[in-house]
Structure 1
């Protein structure tokens, strides 16, 4: 006499279907010593019921006018507990792999990033991985759903890929040291600014502006690249290094 599903939340509330024979006139379904609710005799071979609360493994029995069946196992599962996720941010385009660590994750069926959900891959009871779905820029709550329930408590930040519109001033000495304002969008989470591939110290002013100090470089035009967690933006030949005068 199979039962489906054969596991559910320790808080109860799982709708289970029991299949067998001689089930007409079912008067009770019990999970261990506790009675199920909303018992419905669907047919002579099928009964549905909602599990009561419980813990661990219990035997499920069906009682009819003809007697009580042998028990079949049902496993109570606690709600998942999430400890951490990594990385904590990624592109609004989604697709980045996020690792979630915690306990009770072996039956995870869904991970929601705000209003958008994705199906995870179970690594172990303590870890799952999931490809972040696409989302709008900003922070969203992350919830994991398992046979034991749903747990919230972590957040993930969607980051828009940067753009660069202007670099001001557009030239400076090869010795470096020029303070430059890079204007664009998606600059709040800037992680790096380079001039001709050389890293520059920078300060985020706003989502549309970053201040950087040029490193030393070779005379000529170089690309200015701004990078954040979602990707990079390249302003081709946007800054020109000018050699000092020679006498």
Structure 2
């Protein structure tokens, strides 16, 4: 005999077809100690709805001629999703998201904000998917496996930042000046540069970031101030002047 599929959810409810010979007039099908509901029967097949269960159980078909040889069915626990990294990204999508959890080996689909994408199964605890383009906001991440669905984590689509200004506009070449940078969509800031040189920074709010200027070579020079977030990058309309 052959079971199709040979695995199913611990919650039951899966359609399982048993194929073989002399199966006509099947009177019952058992999954371990539990009887399954027969929904179809021919001389070469029996279709049933699996009962709830766990582990590996023998499937036996009973007919007037006697019971069949048992065939194993593997019950798959429902998936558990712990996190998604990174947890935010640009509206254009395209980045690789790593989903971690348990019982992910039989994953067949992942949806992000309702849009489906085919996952790459790395292991029973890790999946990789490519983020899809979506509007700004929080999107639920749902993972579908042979054991069920998990939708306990979220991915945030972040609009690109806009840097509108900063103060003060000048400072010493030794660095160490605290500069307040203002704009919009700055909450997920991952980097600030002065003339391409990374600066220490702290996120105050979605509209303000505080940065400490890095040192610069001696001499008066104007440099660009740029902010990078998980949604993209933007450069201030004015330049910072090292004195």
TM range (shorter): 0.7 to 0.9
Q: Are residues 220 and 42 of structure 1, via their aligned partners in 2, closer, same or farther at CA, if it must alter by over 3 Å? A: farther
Structure 1 residues without counterparts, runs of 5 or longer: none
Q: Residue by residue, what CA displacement relative to the aligned partner does 1:109-139 show, whole Å, maximum 9, x if unpaired?
A: 2223332332222222232222233333333
Distance 1:184 1:5 in 2: 55
1:209 Cα deviation from its structure 2 partner: 4.5
Distance 1:93 1:63 in 2: 56
1:239 Cα deviation from its structure 2 partner: 0.5
Structure-1-length-normalised TM-score: 0.80
Q: Residue by residue, what CA displacement relative to the aligned partner does 1:44-69 show, whole Å, maximum 9, x if unpaired?
A: 33332110011211121223333322
Q: Residue by residue, what CA displacement relative to the aligned partner does 1:171-224 show, whole Å, maximum 9, x if unpaired?
A: 424546776554543212112222212334545454344454555545343222
Instruction: For 1:204-219, list aligned pairs within 5 A.
Output: 204=203, 206-212=205-211, 214-217=213-216, 219=220
Structure-2-length-normalised TM-score: 0.82
Q: Are residues 83 and 169 of structure 1, via their aligned partners in 2, closer, same or farther at CA, if it must alter by over 3 Å? A: closer
Q: Are residues 195 and 105 of structure 1, via their aligned partners in 2, closer, same or farther at CA, if it must alter by over 3 Å? A: same
Structure 2 residues without counterparts, runs of 5 or longer: none
Say whether residues 1:10 and 2:10 are aligned partners.
Answer: yes
Question: Runs (4+) of structure 1 moved beyond 6 Å?
Answer: none
Give aligned pairs, total: 240
Which of 59-68 and 203-212 deviates more? 203-212
Q: Are residues 201 and 125 of structure 1, via their aligned partners in 2, closer, same or farther at CA, if it must alter by over 3 Å? A: closer
Distance 1:193 1:74 in 2: 56
